[in-house]
Amino acid sequence: MSTPHPFSYPNFYTHTNPLSLLPNCTSLNELKQIQAYSIKTHLQNDIFILSKFINFCTLNPNASTMDYAHQLFDNIPEPDILLFNYMARGYSRTNTPLVAFLLFVQVLWVGIFPDYYTFPSLFKACAKGRALEEGKQLHCFAIKCGVNDDFYVCPALINMYVECSDIGSGGRIFDRIVEPCVVSYNAIISGYVRASEPNKALSMFRVLQAKKMEPTYVTMLGVLSCCGLLGALDLGKWIHVYVKEHGFDQYVKVNTALIDMYAKCGSLDDAVSVFESMAFKDTPAWSAMIMAYALHGQGGRAISLFEDMKKARVQPDGITFLGLINACNHTGWIEEGWKYFNSMKDKYGINPSIKHYGCMLDLLGRAGRLDEAYKFVEELPIKPTLVLWRTLLAACSSYGNVEMAEQVIGRIFELDDSHSGDYVIFSNMCARAGRLKDVIHLRKLMKDKHVAKLPGCSIIEVNNMVHEFFSGDGTHIEHRELHEALDMLFEKLKLVGYVPETSLVHYADMNEEEKEVALRYHSEKLAIAFGLINTPPGTTIRVVKNIRVCRDCHSAAKLISLISGRKIILRDVQRFHHFRSGKCSCGDYW
């Protein structure tokens, strides 16, 4: 026989203290009933009871509970700082975090002075609202109040600067802390990850270990992200062992981070192993695995896993659909891509983000449907961003549509004319089309605006050390051994049919031999050659590149995998390429 809910008893409230009802309260409606009872019993102005009501509303806040809490707060004649702290905490967890500041101005105006617990919530509100200027003002106020070095305030302050993309200020604050706690380390590690400085983040983790401080699962999330950014599989596996030994594998978020790390390090099998070993899988875990399959060109497996996700009655989110559209993108499945894109809102009520629009645009552009892609951008319900226009420019480059590219580059320069990649792509297109005057004009523009070309950079991990190579490094004296090994390798490649695509080098003052040398010392070729001479035969070579792999390097990598008998896994900004026995997993569609 089921037991009725306490609130269903007709005489339950008689001679009952309102506070005794709160432990059984599960909704805002029930809280309103309790408040009504407090009015009936003449306790509506009891500050202690009202503080409990406000606290209840702000523990798991939403728009309705915060509106109600705000009404209660406004009706208190003389609220104290504790009540404001509850309100600030609540707003910092909602989609309107900066309302906390409007309220803060009010309480300051009536003479309520903040305490140590006020600032962390306000800094968190700044972080969520990406409100750097307000955060700086609050930082100054914290200094005036003498709490800027507080144990609780410092981590929140670091996190605020990190979330607002000011890692420099966050780092300086961290450096001033005499004895930073693990929360401060977590904040600065996360900051370096967000700033794409994984080596600095790992350095902080090593300092934390040297001080014999106990990391938390948040620490592990940051460190695993570092391994993914670097493509450092061996380090990632060591961290995985560390995770198991310290019991962090009980956290779903950590397992999800492991899936993401293994996928980004090129070990899809390890990602699958982690996923299949999870006792409980939430939406982010399923989405991470779908995205992993997509990145590795396994579109069919990504879609199959989505079907399994639906059977398990797990609700998809925006990341799930980003993975599905990516899967269609890397396999050229346009109709399927449209199906998933349209079903996001029509079936699941998920509004597409800029990333979804970009992925659909890339799907159309990669397939050569440039007119359809241009129309897609023009008809978007939001203003097209630089990312979208650059995606379309890359598609124009792939198919040599200089006329459309000219329109697109104009739209890009309206928004930002300081990115070297835009000039290089369009300049190369003009060079291939014989428009040498435009090439000269673009190079002059770059010089006048002090725009420096971003060099290609590739990373390879050998013997637990991460090595970086930049395009052109092979000509340096310190790389003489690598230089010689690369020259010998390319002599062998020519014997099996390799022909350098010198048309990709657009410098009028270079002869064919010089263009061939320039191609030879692209960063990914240097990294692959380094891996060949520094790892045992049969070892898989894993390389991460900061820009898209060029056609010549792609062709060379296929042949290197053939003559060396090695598997080569190359990750660029677009996807993974698995080279084996002279073939690539992308099927030359990238």
pLDDT at 498 over 50: yes
In angstroms, the Cα distances linking 284 to 71, 341, 360 are 36, 19, 21
pLDDT at 118: 93
437 alpha-carbon distance from chain centroid: 40
Cα 367 from Cα 330, distance rounded (Å): 10
| pLDDT for residue 585 is more than 80 | yes
Q: Residue 224 pLDDT more than 70?
A: yes
pTM score, whole prediction: 0.81
| CA dihedral of 20, 23, 24, 27, whole degrees rounded to 10 | 120
- What are the tens digits of pLDDT across the range 242-289? 999 999 999 999 999 999 999 999 899 999 999 999 999 999 999 999
Beta pairing partners, 470: 457
pLDDT score, position 359:
94
Identity of the amino acid at 267: S
Question: Helix 299-311 vs helix 283-295: angle between axes, to the nearest 10 degrees?
Answer: 160
pLDDT at position 518 is 84
Each residue's pLDDT tens digit, 132-145: 999 999 999 999 99
| pLDDT score of 506 | 67
Strand order of the β-sheet with 576-580 is 465-470, 457-462, 541-545, 568-571, 576-580, 583-584
**Residues 291-305, mean pLDDT to the nearest whole number:** 94
**CA-CA distance, 456 to 440, in Å (whole number)?**
22
- Select the more confidently predicted residue: 67 or 587: 67
Instruction: Determine the pLDDT at residue 7.
Output: 46
Asked if the model's pLDDT at residue 589 lies above 90, the reply is no
Distance CA 434, CA 413 (A): 22
Q: Where are the alpha helices (DSSP H) in 92-166?
A: 99-109, 118-129, 132-145, 153-163
Q: What's residue 378's pLDDT?
A: 92
Q: What is the mean pLDDT of residues 491-510?
A: 82
Tens digits of residue pLDDT in 306-354: 999 999 999 999 999 999 999 999 888 999 999 999 999 999 999 999 9
Length of the chain counted residue by residue: 590
Beta pairing, strands 541-545 & 457-462: antiparallel
Q: Encode pLDDT of 72-124 as tens digits.
A: 998 888 888 999 999 999 999 998 999 998 899 888 888 888 988 899 999 99
Give dist(CA 142, CA 484) in Å, integer.
59
- What pLDDT score was predicted for residue 508? 61
| Residues in a beta bridge with 577 | 570
Residue 492 CA to residue 430 CA, distance in Å, equals 33
